[in-house]
């Protein structure tokens, strides 16, 4: 039995890249492992958030995970901010992490671009909080998309450095990255990864898009060599057909391919959306689920922090 852990930001839109890169692989690992999934609201505030929107997005994220098959009996499902040990451990790891290694983080460099001196300390420090998220629970496996690999590697480096200095306190986590689907590209620009922060809504398939919108977005998707490969990846993951089979079936037939792909996307999304909406009907139940998860997480996290405090010498 392994400890499996992943987390996603509550950013309002979850796209099919988030689903195929992280949510689905996590759900597949649920049986037979010890699982942790949480909503990283303290990562979300590294960029400005409207409080009422953030609150709604947290509930929406919880509803989406449950709809996608996360089972609170098998998975400790909670909000990051409800377990204070995450930020506490982040502070201690701040004192182990080097400025240089954080400056090398690709995501930081991308997000800081153009912000000059006004880039927030939180955005810079974000990977250290993520390392704390992972190391707090003695995590073995971290299913993530390709873009988070560098952050998981940083968590490994920090664990190793800490252990060398203070003794074997942390377990070494491993990123688990799918061969296919770990980097779904933008529909309108296959040289960029699919992202909710893209300028155009046409670039991503939201998990809440209706059939018409899905069809429109896929119809206008770029089909140069990389664009087509990206659509084939989506089709493979959604239908179980191999790329070879897809190529033979649709040789030179982009329109029918796009129609069938849109149908496959909608076949995934329609039942998912019905479930999301049903969960959102009962906010109190969602909150109860998250609170119960936080309580379980807190017990484990508190024990770990006691060990960390002892190791560094602050526990008298
Ligand atoms: P976030 O919220 O940006 O993304 C959530 C997950 O979705 C994956 N993903 C993709 N996969 C395939 N194709 C894409 N185009 C695509 N875009 C996003 C991401 O790789 C991620 O797995 N820092 C993290 C959240 C986090 C975390 C953690 C993850 C915080 N603490 C601890 C694992 C363990 C983030 O912002 O992901």
Ligand 1 pocket check for 133: Cβ under 6 Å: yes
Token couple for 99: 């400025």
- Residue with CA at minimum distance from ligand 1 atom 27: 7
Ligand 1 pocket check for 22: Cβ under 6 Å: yes
In tens, the pLDDT along 237-295 reads: 999 999 999 999 999 899 999 999 999 999 999 999 999 999 999 999 999 999 999 99
- Residue 261: how many CB atoms within 10 A of its CB? 23
Average pLDDT in the chain: 96
Token couple for 135: 């190391």
Residue 310 CB burial class (10 angstroms; 0-12, 13-18, ≥19): middle
Token couple for 147: 């873009």
What is the DSSP annotation of 101-154?
Answer: HHHT-HHHHHHHTTTGGG--HHHHHHHHHHHHHHHTTT-SEEE--GGGHHHHHH
Closest listed residue to residue 70, CA positions, set 235, 289, 274: 289
In tens, the pLDDT along 114-142 reads: 888 889 999 999 999 999 999 999 999 99
| Catalytic annotation present for 193 | yes
Q: How far is CA 166 from the centre of its chain?
A: 30
Predicted local distance difference test score (pLDDT) of residue 116: 87
Contact 93, 151 (CB under 8 A): no
Predicted local distance difference test score (pLDDT) of residue 252: 87
Q: Which atom of ligand 1 is nearest to the CA of 40?
A: 30
The predicted model scores a pTM of 0.97
- The topology (CATH level 3) of 201-278 is Tyrosyl-Transfer RNA Synthetase (1.10.240)
The domain segmentation of the chain, as residue ranges, is 3-181+283-312, 201-278
Give the gyration radius of the chain's Cα atoms.
20
In tens, the pLDDT along 39-93 reads: 999 999 999 999 999 999 999 999 999 999 999 999 999 999 999 999 999 999 9
CATH class entry, domain 3-181+283-312: alpha beta
Calculate what percentage of the chain has a pLDDT beyond 90.
95
Distance (angstroms) between ligand 1 centre and the Cα of 252 equals 34
199 pLDDT above the threshold of 90: no
Residue 253 CA to residue 258 CA, distance in Å, equals 9
Q: Which atom of ligand 1 is nearest to the CA of 151?
A: 23
Residues in Cβ contact with 298 at an 8 Å cutoff, skipping those fewer than 6 apart: 82, 83, 85
| Catalytic annotation present for 196 | yes
Predicted local distance difference test score (pLDDT) of residue 197: 84
- Residue with CA at minimum distance from ligand 1 atom 16: 17
Q: How many residues does the chain have?
A: 316
Token couple for 132: 């704390």
- Alpha helix segments (H runs only) across the chain: 16-18, 24-29, 41-44, 51-67, 85-94, 99-103, 106-112, 121-135, 149-166, 211-219, 225-239, 243-250, 254-280, 283-312
pLDDT classification of 198: cutoffs 50, 70, 90: confident
Of the residues 196, 216, 275, 287, only one is catalytic, namely: 196
Strand order in the sheet with 34-39: 75-79, 34-39, 3-8, 141-143, 174-176
In tens, the pLDDT along 98-110 reads: 999 999 999 999 9
């Amino acid at each position: 039995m392994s400890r499996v852990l992943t987390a996603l930001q509550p950013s309002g839109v979850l796209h099919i890249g988030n689903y195929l890169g992280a949510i689905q692989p996590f759900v597949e690992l649920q049986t037979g492992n010890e699982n942790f999934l949480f909503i990283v609201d303290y990562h979300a505030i590294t960029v400005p958030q409207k409080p009422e929107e953030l609150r709604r997005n947290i509930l929406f994220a919880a509803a989406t995970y449950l709809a996608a098959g996360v089972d609170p009996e098998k998975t400790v499902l909670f909000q990051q901010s409800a377990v204070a040990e995450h930020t506490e451990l982040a502070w201690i790891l701040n004192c182990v992490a080097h400025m240089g290694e954080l400056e090398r983080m690709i995501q930081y460099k991308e997000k800081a671009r153009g912000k000059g001196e006004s880039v927030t300390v939180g955005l810079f420090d974000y990977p250290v909080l993520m390392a704390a998220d992972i190391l707090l629970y003695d995590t073995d496996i971290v299913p993530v998309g390709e873009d988070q690999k560098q952050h998981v590697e940083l968590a490994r480096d920090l664990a190793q450095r800490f252990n060398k200095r203070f003794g074997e306190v942390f377990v070494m986590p491993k990123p688990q990255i799918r061969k296919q689907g770990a980097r779904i590209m933008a529909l309108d620009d296959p040289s960029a990864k699919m992202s909710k922060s893209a300028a155009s809504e046409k670039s991503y398939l939201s998990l809440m898009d209706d059939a018409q919108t899905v069809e429109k977005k896929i119809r206008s998707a770029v089909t140069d060599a990389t664009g087509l490969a990206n659509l084939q990846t989506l089709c493979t993951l959604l239908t179980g057909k191999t790329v070879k089979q897809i190529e033979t079936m649709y040789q030179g037939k982009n329109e029918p391919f796009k129609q069938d792909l849109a149908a496959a996307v909608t076949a995934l999304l329609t039942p998912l959306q019905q479930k999301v909406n049903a969960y959102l009907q009962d906010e109190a139940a969602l909150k109860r689920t998250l609170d119960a998860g936080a309580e379980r997480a807190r017990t484990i996290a508190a024990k770990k922090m006691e060990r960390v405090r002892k190791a560094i010498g602050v526990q008298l």
